[in-house]
Amino acid sequence: MADKRMTESEVVAELRSGMTIGIGGWGSRRKPMSLVRAILRSDLTDLTVVTFGGPDAGFLLAAGKIRRLVYGFVSLDSIPLEPHFRAARQAGTLAVSEYDEGMLQLGLHAAACRLPFLPTRAGLGSDVMRVNPELRTVGSPYEDGEELVAMPALRLDAALVHVNRADALGNGQVLGVDPYFDELFCMAADRAYVSCERIVPTEELTVTAPVQTLRIQRWMVSGVVEAPGGAHFTACDPDYGRDEAFQREYVRAAADPAAWAEFTARYLAGEEPAYRAGAVAG
């Protein structure tokens, strides 16, 4: 079986401008931030990003990488509004598709099943239909005849997720209490890339944790990146929590162009080892 180990730079080299990329995690929790930072260092642009958003969206928006953002929300959890997302929305410069959180999940599920859409009641009678005029409804073919929203499949060119442990084959393990929808992102994508805190032998994955923690299976995955601290500054429980001090520093910097330039030069200008040395270790 193939050894799928890669570096962040090798993953980004397989991406192309104009792609639709799904990013796993949830708000400011277990985001594949080392892969996001690798995109920042690249010449990729014109991306459509699908996410339950957090600083992944913020970093990419600040760098001008995103053409369209597809999301259920964009938040830093302990800080309600992601600052770069807020600025882009207030400026009216960002193309968006704003969905109910459950609708986004169904869109990924439809794509994972290779279906054109899945029906749902979510969105009916709400502004979701007004702000997404491309949405359509369908009638139930059964006796009830109910009108339902046809949530379109969210097909992804690539997916990026972060987990606690993985093996070299692409099996990924989530040790926290919530797996979010990372496996749906992987299954909805043509190619999925998993970063992890540590790559371990396959047999070690279930020595101290049940097999149900293996949320990502090797058939879903094209590449695996060992990235200690790779979710920083977001949480990656139980390995580490959210770096609240760093997150506050990020938000303060985002409010001022000069401070943001200084933040970028200090933390984002170099390769990933420099970020780990300055931000994670610091």
How many CA atoms does the CB half-sphere of 189 hold within 13 Å? 31
Range 247-255 contact pairs with CB under 8 angstroms and sequence separation of 24 or more: 247/28, 247/55, 247/76, 247/78, 247/79, 248/79, 250/55, 250/58, 250/83, 251/76, 251/79, 251/83, 254/58, 254/62, 254/83, 254/84, 254/87, 255/83
In CATH, what is the architecture of 5-116+153-280?
3-Layer(aba) Sandwich (3.40)
Q: Count the Cβ atoms, other than its own, within 10 Å of residue 123.
A: 21
* Average pLDDT of span 233-240: 97
Predicted TM-score (pTM) of the model is: 0.96
- State residue 282's pLDDT score: 63
Identify how many contiguous H helices and E strands the chain contains and give both numbers. Answer: 10, 12
pLDDT in tens, 5-45: 999 999 999 999 999 999 999 999 999 999 999 999 999 99
State pLDDT tens for residues 194-225: 999 999 999 999 998 999 999 999 999 999 99
**Residue that has been written with the tokens 């987990």 in this structure:** 163
**pLDDT tens, position by position, 49-58:** 999 999 999 9
With b meaning 16 or more CB within 10 Å and e meaning fewer, what string describes 147-170? ebbbbbbbbbbbbbbbbbbbbbbb
Residue 234 in this model has a pLDDT that exceeds 70: yes
Work out the percent of the chain whose per-residue pLDDT is above 90.
94
pLDDT tens column, 120-177: 999 999 999 999 999 999 999 999 999 999 999 999 999 999 999 999 999 999 999 9
